[in-house]
Structure 1
Amino acid sequence: MSTLIRVERSLLIGHILSMAFGLAGLLLVLPHPKFIANLPAIGQTAFAWSMVGGGVMYMLLGMAAVLVYAYRILGVWHCLGFMLPALTISLSSELLGTSTGFPFGHYRYLTGLGYKIAGLVPFTIPLSWFYLGFSAYLIARAGLNGKSIPNWLKTLGSIVLGAIFLTAWDFVLDPAMSQTTMPFWVWEQPGAFFGMPYQNFVGWFGTGASFMTVATIIWQLKPLTLPKTQLGLPLAIYISNFAFATVMSVGAGIYIPIGLGILVGLMPVLLLYRMATTQTEELIPQNMVVSVNPVRVISK
């Protein structure tokens, strides 16, 4: 096993464990102040650290895991070709959203997700756009790659599906994270979808589709070999973050978004992953098969 693979797996494990640790703090410890008061000093210190830096850590680890994977599988050009548009476009959308209400609606971030850029958007938020968006897009593109459809339709389908899968994750995450015991953001004008405006989903889809489109154009400037059998990390990133959002929603007593997320996000992602990893090389046409007569070997 190469050093990069070991690093990649370690980062993924750390990402998943930090999410589990955060869930335990938010859903089990934080709602029970007496339990916190009875913790030993080291337990109280760990809990305080998790409340201050837990959200930052799991997103940093997710970003790092996907970055190492993208570099190892796709190379520097295609890695940066997706990461830079994802970071810049998502940050621009978030800054615009928190300043004007467009394209997501009127909201603001609270504490717990790290230093805020321009005092508005935690620096970790664009990181999550990148690593979830990359994972969703790559699985969509790899799944469609072997199908007998025009290339332009594969390209368009990858962008549309990738943006839908990214938005489906937000279906589940956003209501819970804004209504948990310790919310990470609040909606200034609550909407009809469990406190969120429907405009938020349009903004999510549009932002995701925008940076996926730019990345697609950049990727087309150089030959690209899509992975077929090495999609485990993108799938693990998507499933683990979807599971995190699901547990948060259950803890908040919000269930309908989970079903929507499974229907338009998780199930299609699993299907496309299956399609990508089971694709085989095209069979040689029968009229091109060369028939070879058997050779008889005569011994003395």
Structure 2
Amino acid sequence: MREKEGYFFIGHILAMFFGLAGLLLVLPHPEFVANLPPIGQSAFSWSMIGGGVVYMILGWATIALFAYRKLGLWHWLGFMIPALGISLTSELLGTSTGFPFGDYHYLSGLGYKISGLVPFTIPLSWFYLGFCGYIITRVGLEKLSLPSSVKDLGAIIFGSLLLTSWDFVLDPAMSQTSMPFWLWDQPGAFFGMPYQNFIGWFGTGVVFMSVATIVWRFKPLDFNKIPLTIPIGVYIGNFTFAMVMSIGANFYIPVLLGIFTGILPLVIFVSLAYKSESGNSIGLPFLSQ
């Protein structure tokens, strides 16, 4: 973790940990905040106002720098621009028309809202979680004797699945916590959410990952040379954040579903990615990247 993006990654994880402490330990006990000294009350107030913004910006910075340094400018922008543009378009449509996710609206806590509807940080999270799911899957598939087009298709499908699996776990808690960040105007059968939401998530991921795949084909990558320490850490860190939030809200089924559709495939693709030429799995160099 000695690379430059490692510092952003550490800040990203610390910001999420601080946010969890505030949402799960401090907010339910207002007497704790009332007994803090003025500087402590000010720090807590700031964390509730800007904590979500900070952790998402740091997540974006971590993956943006990683992608630029390890893949190059073309591949970084070739993934980030479609991810930001298409996810923002989906979110603006969703918050104004109900398509493709269902009827919902964002509250405060995630930063300036584009067109008064979508916090600017939301497309950032689509990018960095989508990139992690896609690149982990694509590097793992590179080890298999399959046509390149099949590997690309597999990365789009399973990358979108990993992205959606994170939302399985995150969305129930974040929309129903003591300080929700968005609310559903169209309550659904899945812990207050419509199933349409997940179709929208998967579909949006498929669209921007497909565009990125086409862009990347103009300058083919050697996927065997891409380290995965940072993408793995970011995905697991964000999944853990969502999991702890859901467990804190007593939502256990979304956690189990997310583990089955997200963490289990992640483990499989990571095992493939770190498979040696002899067919033996090699260790994950978490401290050496």
Matched, 1:147 2:148: no
- Please, what is the CA RMSD of the aligned residues? 1.3
TM-score under structure 2 normalisation? 0.94
2:131 to 129, 134, 139: 134
Mapped to 2, the partners of 1:223 and 1:268 lie a distance apart of 25
Letter in 2 for 1:41: P
- 2:143–2:275 Cα contact (<8 Å) kept: no
Report the structure number with the largest CA radius of gyration: 1
Q: Deviations over 1:233-265 (max 9, x none)?
A: 000000000000000001111000000000010
- The residue aligned with 1:199 is 196
Mapped to 2, the partners of 1:45 and 1:198 lie a distance apart of 39
Identity %: 65
1:9 to 6, 10, 16: 6
Matched, 1:63 2:64: no
TM-score under structure 1 normalisation? 0.91
- The residue aligned with 1:290 is none
Q: Deviations over 1:164-185 (max 9, x none)?
A: 0000000000000000000000
Q: Deviations over 1:245-299 (max 9, x none)?
A: 00000111100000000001011112101111124289xxxxxxxxxxxxxxxxx
Letter in 1 for 2:266: V
1:107 to 75, 81, 104: 104
Letter in 1 for 2:113: K
Q: Deviations over 1:99-128 (max 9, x none)?
A: 000000000000000000000000000000
Shift of 1:152: 1.8
Q: Deviations over 1:134-188 (max 9, x none)?
A: 0000000000012012222111111000000000000000000000000000000
Shift of 1:193: 0.2
Letter in 2 for 1:62: G
Q: How does 1:228-267 map to 2 (within 5 A)?
A: 228=225, 230-267=227-264
Stretches of structure 2 that go unaligned for 5 or more consecutive residues are: 280-289
SS at match of 1:179: coil
Mapped to 1, the partners of 2:205 and 2:99 lie a distance apart of 15
Deviates more, 1:178-187 or 1:36-45: 36-45
Mapped to 2, the partners of 1:177 and 1:228 lie a distance apart of 37
Shift of 1:223: 2.2
- 1:81–1:218 Cα contact (<8 Å) kept: yes
Stretches of structure 1 that go unaligned for 5 or more consecutive residues are: 283-300
- The residue aligned with 1:30 is 27
- Aligned residues between the structures: 279
